[in-house]
Amino acid sequence: MAESLETLREEVLDRIARCATEPEIEDLRVEYLGRKGRLTLLLRGLKDLPPEERPQAGERLNQLRRLAEEKLAARLAQVKAREKERILREETVDITLPGSRWERGRMHPLTLVMDEIIDVFLGMGFEVARGPDIEDDYHNFEALNMPKDHPARDMQDTFFVSQDRLLRTHTSPVQIRVMESRRPPLQIIAPGAVYRHDDDATHSPMFHQVEGFMVDGHISFADLKGVLTHFIRRIFRPETKLRFRPSFFPFTEPSAEIDMQCVLCGGEGGKREGSACRVCKGSGWLEILGAGMIDPQVFKFVGYDPERVSGFAFGMGVERIAMLKFGIEDIRLFFQNDLRFLRQFV
């Protein structure tokens, strides 16, 4: 017994000395001192020894257990101290290194312009309404006085989702949705994304419009003119002039396309400089929106009496306004997510 205890003592001390990590120390503790540890079992086995051998063997086993406990604790402290030193040595922070910069996000130029447009109309007492991007044929065309065979449907190359569902080609269906659910007086703008099979420097397959309409007992073309003139003067310069050109939309009668004085040449068309202005191509005017008095036929679709109510409506392209405001010549720049472009707008 004495001899085997001596061997065990050497083995335990040797193994403790070779432990290099905290888990190794813990494993060793369990192996020797745990509930089924080798030393624990030996202590429990004392009762099977002849009574005269028990005191001495017990004494020696207890000594060995205390020694193992002390050595394990000491080794643990040593390993922990070494680990701390290693962390301090390897993970030091060089506070002289330059910090990493946090890029500040900013608003997309179209969001800036959209918010500005909405603000101007809110200031005139308009409310904001929204409609679905995926529309049905009825709201996008039919109720806007464009039956299935109407040639005006071809003016807006449509993305169809199914026979009856499509990506809305304009924000005008929101007029129908609002009028179906509410009664006049109404003074609404409907901003949102619209979709057309169109793609070049001034046309994008997805772009944004802001629809506006006012319906009440005696709304006239003069109201339309007043609202749009105020709007353009707030968004551009206070002295900007507007020009109303006769046009055609199936859902307004009479209809107009509205041009504003060119933002670059101020309506001169570049004549003074001797070459045509690159923004308005020398005409001095820029088309910015379509508008008109809501067609009586549309009122009938939503159950209003055209004898009792009248109203105007308009729809503008937000990208076009942003291009004029910031002097951008290619609409595709808005959608390429090039940070060098986007960083210019605050």
* Binding piece for ligand FA5, criterion CB under 6 A, among 8-16, 44-52, 204-212, 214-222: 204-212
Burial 118-147 (b: 16+ CB within 10 A, else e): eebbeeeebeebebeeebbbebbbbbbbbe
Copy the structure tokens of residue 21: 């990590």
Exactly one of 126, 141, 207, 231 binds ligand FA5 (CB under 6 A); that residue is: 207
Type of residue found at 114 = M
Question: Site for ligand FA5 (CB under 6 A): which residue of 178, 289, 302, 324?
Answer: 289
Residue range at the interface with ligand FA5 (CB under 6 A); choices 108-116, 299-307, 315-323, 334-342: 315-323
Find the part of the chain contacting ligand FA5 (CB under 6 A) among 20-28, 103-111, 299-307, 317-325: 317-325
Please say which residue, 13 or 159, places its beta carbon nearer to ligand FA5: 159
For CA atoms 158, 159, 162, 166, give the dihedral sign. negative
* Residue 270 in contact with ligand FA5, rule: CB under 6 A: no
Q: Is 158 in the site for ligand FA5 (CB under 6 A)?
A: no
User: Could you say whether residue 214 binds ligand FA5 (CB under 6 A)?
Assistant: no
Using rule CB under 6 A, residue 172 touches ligand FA5: yes
Q: Which of residues 111-140 bind ligand FA5 (CB under 6 A)?
A: none
Q: CB nearest ligand FA5: which residue?
A: 317
Q: CB neighbours (10 Å) of residue 99?
A: 6
Q: Tell whether residue 301 is a contact of ligand FA5 (CB under 6 A).
A: no
Cβ atoms of 168 and 133 within 8 Å: the answer is yes
Q: Binding residue for ligand FA5 (CB under 6 A) from 314, 322, 323, 324?
A: 314
Q: How far apart are CA 48 and CA 193, in angstroms?
A: 90
Per CB under 6 A, the list member of 145, 158, 209, 261 interacting with ligand FA5 is 209
Strands (E), 182-238: 186-195, 206-216
The Cα–Cα gap between 42 and 12 comes to 14
Of 135, 167, 196, 261, the residue at the interface with ligand FA5 (CB under 6 A) is: 196
Sheet of strand 242-249: strand arrangement: 127-128, 186-195, 206-216, 310-317, 285-294, 252-261, 242-249
Exposure pattern of 74-93 as b/e (b: 16+ CB <10 Å)? ebbeebeeeeeeeeeeeeee
The stretch near ligand FA5 (CB under 6 A) out of 74-82, 87-95, 199-207, 231-239 is 199-207
Q: Least CB distance from residue 263 to ligand FA5, whole Å?
A: 14
How crowded is residue 341: how many other Cβ atoms within 10 Å of its Cβ?
Answer: 13
**What percent helix, strand, coil does the chain show, rounded to 5?**
45, 20, 35
Rounded least distance, CB 214 to ligand FA5, Å: 11
Please state, in angstroms and rounded to a whole number, the distance separating the CA atoms of residues 250 and 142: 10
Compute the distance between CA of residue 191 and CA of residue 184 in angstroms, rounded to an integer. 20
User: Between residues 31 and 253, which has the closer beta carbon with respect to ligand FA5?
Assistant: 253
290 sits near ligand FA5 (criterion: CB under 6 A): yes
Q: How distant, in Å, are the alpha carbons of 13, 146, 269, 285 from that of 246? A: 103, 19, 22, 15
Tell me which of 173, 270, 292, 311 binds ligand FA5, using CB under 6 A: 292
Instruction: Pick the closest to residue 159 from 149, 170, 175 (CA basis).
Output: 170
- Residue 225 contacts ligand FA5 per CB under 6 A: no
Does 322 bind ligand FA5 (CB under 6 A)? Our answer is no
- Per-residue binder mask for ligand FA5 (CB under 6 A), 62-101, x = binder: ----------------------------------------
Residues that bind ligand FA5 (CB under 6 A): 156, 170, 172, 196, 198, 203-204, 207, 209, 211, 249, 252, 287, 289-292, 313-317, 319-320, 331
